[in-house]
Amino acid sequence: EAEVAQSPRYKITEKSQAVAFWCDPISGHATLYWYRQILGQGPELLVQFQDESVVDDSQLPKDRFSAERLKGVDSTLKIQPAELGDSAMYLCASSPSRARDAFFGQGTRLTVV
């Protein structure tokens, strides 16, 4: 069964350091999402790609976060510098199109110390 792949599963980093997460969506899925989920809350959309283009990054803290999907396939989310408040689960999801079901990867649990 096709899955969304994410790495690493867990990451511990010191504040002010840089950290990066990688996501490989289900093959053929044009839409890719990055969500952040703080414990006890629902996932919050950070950025949405349609193929290689960013179509929504209105909630992305652009002073420290960046995201790219250069060839319209896999994607990287970067945080630099990391802050204590960035500790959360970072979830990648993909969908055949923007109005269809989204499938999540296993997520990356980030702890900033």
Q: Is 65 in the site for another protein (CB under 8 A)?
A: no
Which run of H or E residues covers position 64? none
65-70's contacts with Cβ under 8 Å and 24+ in sequence apart are: 67/34, 69/32
Find the binder of another protein among 17, 54, 62, 83 (CB under 8 A).
54
Q: How far is the CB of 74 from another protein (least distance, A)?
A: 17
User: Is the previous residue joined to 61 through a cis bond, with omega within 30 degrees of 0?
Assistant: no
Compute the least distance from the CB of residue 81 to another protein, in Å: 26
Stretch that binds another protein, among 21-29, 41-49, 67-75, 79-87 (CB under 8 A): 41-49
| Residue matched to tokens 């703080």 | 38
